[in-house]
């Protein structure tokens, strides 16, 4: 991928005022998928116009779904075609950088009458897909991967799927969702047990579209053969995007920032719990419910942080926030220890190794372990950081720049647009001294 976008951050800013970060990525993906497969017209507002969600949108357009928008306000109108109304796409579906698109769509595509090929960018093309193709093939799906178990995926249509029970070996909402979405097309009952709670947006949104889903403890069950009924979806701001600002305000002296309208689904709030355990000063204001998801404004004030041992049960609830939490740990007094987080090694990059390399380059004592990291807080120096086509690495080091001893440069930052279009201008508005350069 040719990507010459660089960010340069001058140290010393403070984060103040009120900001609103873009819409939730997980909810935006699912709004397109379920809206397309529903009967009737679904209206979406607050849709994340990041490249990942646009990959999902373009995939459904390529399969004949009429989607108007998104306009500048993130409003979309989806003319649902029903569960059996998709048409064969003329080309391979390009999922770009998006693991969520590819893994969730694998489940949906497994139930179609036609063949589909799914491809991805340099990062996605290295990511493991057997975690979905193995359970889907137990349901009767026929999906080919490369010998390494990576994309491209070739999904053979016209299969009869049958419901299974799947005991997930890892805590993954993408795997859970892929199986449940295939279960819409399967005969009988499909159920999944998860080793730890993971984000439950699929279950919530299926119910919002009138589809019965049972959750009993760690087991989620649905029956095939139902239908989805169009609805209206108001997408809250993404807590995973807000997390960069939560950490930025926590580590930059003088900060007092309000982040508005943030989705606070309890399967996503680990970052708030972890920052509070570290001594962070976060207050929830104006708590309310929007479209079946809890939402609040979050006030974050600077506070001296201390190192902690991160409770393992919080790991799946903060899985996307660790790059920036490692930055918080670097600015904390004492040692932070993370365990039980081997999933970080198979994200858009190996986030344990890539973060450790970057922090070490900045003079921080960071020791990667097979399933986590040990970070000793200290003075961040400055370095040139390679983001490895991983949006969250680029944004995490942008926040590290607030506390660095000299300007920080981050390279290959174009993938920030996958989840957070407008990041640089919003960060600059909040008080980060950041510029982007081609």
Greatest C-alpha distance within the chain: 61
Q: Is residue 415 within the footprint of ligand S3P (CB under 6 A)?
A: no
- x-or-dash pattern for ligand S3P, window 65-104, by CB under 6 A? -----------------------------------x----
Q: Are 189 and 223 in contact (CB under 8 A)?
A: yes
Residue 418 interacts with ligand S3P (CB under 6 A): yes or no: no
Which segments of 212-349 are extended strands (E)? Answer: 214-216, 219-223, 232-234, 256-263, 281-290, 293-301, 335-338
Residues whose CB is less than 8 angstroms from the CB of residue 245 and which lie 6 or more positions away in sequence, other chains included: 15, 19, 21, 257, 259, 300, 427, 430
In the bound state with ligand S3P, the residue whose beta carbon lies nearer, of 100 and 106, is 100
To ligand S3P, the closest distance from the beta carbon of 118 in angstroms equals: 16
Q: Are 284 and 216 in contact (CB under 8 A)?
A: no
Give, for 386, the enclosing helix (H) or strand (E). strand 384-386
We find the least distance from the C-beta atom of residue 319 to ligand S3P, in angstroms, to be 5
57 sits near ligand S3P (criterion: CB under 6 A): no
Does residue 127 interact with ligand S3P by CB under 6 A? no
Could you tell me how many helices (H) and strands (E) the chain has, helices first?
12, 23
Annotated catalytic residue 320: yes
Task: Pick out residues in 185-244 that bind ligand S3P (CB under 6 A).
Answer: 198-199
Q: Which residue is nearest to ligand S3P (CB)?
A: 26
Asked if residue 319 binds ligand S3P (CB under 6 A), the reply is yes
How many C-beta atoms surround the C-beta of residue 160 within 10 A? 10
Task: Name the minimum Å distance from CB 32 to ligand S3P.
Answer: 12
Residue 118: phi and psi, rounded to 5, are: -120, 130
Binding to ligand S3P (CB under 6 A) within 9-48 occurs at 26
Instruction: Indicate the residue among 325 and 402 with the shorter CB distance to ligand S3P.
Output: 325
CB atoms within 10 A of CB 21: 26
Binding-residue pattern over the window 333 to 352 for ligand S3P, x denoting contact by CB under 6 A: ----------x---------
Binding-residue pattern over the window 263 to 302 for ligand S3P, x denoting contact by CB under 6 A = ----------------------------------------
Please, which of residues 349-388 interact with ligand S3P by CB under 6 A? none
- First CA to last CA distance, the chain: 14
**Which one, 174 or 412, has the nearer CB to ligand S3P?**
174
Which residues are bridge partners to 373 per DSSP? 338, 368
Residues 75 and 145 sit within 8 Å (Cβ to Cβ): no
Site for ligand S3P in 136-195 (CB under 6 A): 172-174, 177
- What are the catalytic residues? 320
- State the residues that interact with ligand S3P by CB under 6 A: 26, 100, 172-174, 177, 198-199, 319-320, 343
């Amino acid at each position: 991928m040719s990507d010459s976008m660089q960010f340069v951050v001058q140290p010393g800013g403070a984060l103040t005022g009120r900001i609103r970060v873009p819409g939730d990525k997980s909810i935006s993906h699912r709004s397109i998928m379920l809206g397309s497969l529903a009967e009737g017209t679904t209206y979406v507002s607050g849709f994340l116009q990041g490249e990942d969600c646009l990959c999902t949108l373009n995939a459904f357009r390529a399969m004949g779904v009429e989607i108007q928008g998104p306009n500048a306000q993130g409003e979309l109108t989806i003319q649902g075609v029903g569960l059996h109304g998709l048409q064969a796409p003329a080309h391979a579906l390009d999922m770009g950088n998006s693991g969520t698109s590819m893994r969730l769509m694998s489940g949906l595509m497994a139930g179609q009458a036609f063949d589909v090929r799914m491809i991805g960018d340099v990062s996605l093309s290295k990511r493991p897909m057997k975690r979905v193709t193995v359970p889907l093939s137990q349901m009767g799906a026929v999906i080919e991967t490369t010998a390494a178990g990576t994309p491209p995926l070739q999904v053979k249509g016209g299969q009869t799927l049958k419901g299974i029970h799947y005991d997930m070996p890892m805590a993954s909402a993408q795997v859970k969702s892929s199986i449940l979405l295939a279960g819409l097309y399967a005969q009988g009952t499909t159920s999944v047990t998860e080793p730890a709670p993971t984000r439950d947006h699929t279950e919530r949104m299926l119910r919002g579209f009138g589809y019965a889903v049972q959750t009993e403890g760690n087991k989620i069950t649905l029956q095939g053969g139902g239908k989805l009924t169009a609805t209206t979806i108001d997408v809250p701001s993404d807590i995973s995007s807000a997390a960069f600002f939560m950490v930025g305000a926590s580590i930059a002296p003088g900060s007092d920032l309000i982040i508005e309208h943030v989705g606070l689904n309890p399967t996503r709030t680990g970052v708030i719990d972890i920052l509070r355990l570290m001594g962070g000063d976060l207050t929830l204001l104006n708590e309310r419910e929007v479209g079946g998801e809890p939402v609040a404004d979050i006030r974050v004030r600077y506070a001296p942080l201390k190192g902690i041992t991160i409770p393992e049960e919080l790991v799946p609830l903060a899985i996307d926030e660790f790059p920036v939490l490692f930055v918080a740990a670097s600015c904390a007094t004492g040692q932070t220890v993370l365990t039980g987080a081997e999933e970080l090694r198979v994200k858009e990059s190996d986030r344990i190794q890539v973060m450790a390399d970057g922090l070490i380059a900045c003079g921080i004592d960071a020791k990667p372990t097979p399933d986590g990291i040990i970070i000793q807080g200290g003075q961040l120096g400055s370095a040139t950081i390679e983001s490895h086509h991983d949006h969250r690495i680029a944004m995490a080091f942008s926040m590290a720049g607030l506390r660095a001893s000299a300007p920080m440069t981050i390279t290959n930052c174009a993938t920030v647009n996958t989840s957070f279009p407008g990041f640089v201008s919003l960060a600059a508005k909040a008080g980060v001294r950041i510029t982007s350069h081609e």
